[in-house]
Amino acid sequence: MPHFNGVSRSVRHEYTCALIGRIIAHHFVTQSGPMARYRITRESLLDGSHHARIRADQGAHVSFMPDEERRVQVLDILAQAPRPERIWVFGYGLLMWNPAFHHVERCTARVHGFHRQFCLWSRGGRGTPERPGLMLSLESGGSCTGVAYRIAPGAAATELDVLWRREMASWSYRAVWVNLHMQHGTEPGIAFAVNRAHERYVPRLDSESIARYLATGRGTNGDCCDYLFDTVEHLRELGIRDGRMEALERRVRALRNEVASAGATETSAPRSARPGVS
């Protein structure tokens, strides 16, 4: 450890910040690789390998919704369907570009009464217990534009089973019926809103705190910031502008640039200029 005897407080502070930046930057560089772009697939959900991967990462104590409970929930949500022959599902995050269930129609849709929000801790896939990330959910209030998928008539129970294995496995979401406002009209659809009773739920985080968790979180599924960047990128491709998400993207990129610059500055500094190094 460096010693700081005779070194001014400002120099010590500058050195400490640079050192922290160097550590985080090193983490970003050395932990990148094939694992950083893990992709959930239909097959990994059905054969159990996705959940096995989570248990291998987070421990055998991790529990998932039992098969019977999942089956009952799927039947219950279908029993509530206003139009059983036309089952739509709303995606606002990863589902927009990687649904992993079969569908016969896809289009943009807007939901009123909910907004996109980073309000669920990720201590495994996109973070660790020591450096958690955040995941998206739907919070009450406002509106949200995303992607709607229509499932083929007669295939709803099968495809929702696949979806439940992914979205509802840990009980952190609750399935709700919403009105999907699409170009051809309004139809009912299933959306996944946050379960506020879940231990992963984190309410009322300010935007700066959210940005910092997104900038530093990383787990076995990759950097947490990539989840944000991919979301904003796919929204733009669809012609959807989400001002809050775009502002977060700018702030997270700025934070990561600051970290990279701090690490580079400290690395390039002459040894004689570093406190306590000889």
Which residues belong to the active site? 167
The single residue listed with the structure tokens 């919704």 is: 65
Structure tokens at 110: 């807007």
Nearest in space to 165 (alpha carbons), one of 97, 250, 101: 101
Contact 111, 180 (CB under 8 A): yes
Task: Give whole-number Cα distances, 226 to 80, 126, 134, 148, in Å.
Answer: 36, 9, 11, 22
Residue 190's DSSP bridge partners are 89, 177
DSSP 196: T
Nearest in space to 167 (alpha carbons), one of 97, 254, 65, 83: 65
3-state secondary structure 24-87: HHHHHHHCCCHHHHCCCCHHHHHCCHHHHHHHHHHCCCCCCCCHHHHHHHHHHHHHCCCCCCCE
Within the chain, strands assigned E span 87-91, 105-122, 133-151, 173-182, 185-194, 218-219, 222-223
Contact 241, 235 (CB under 8 A): yes
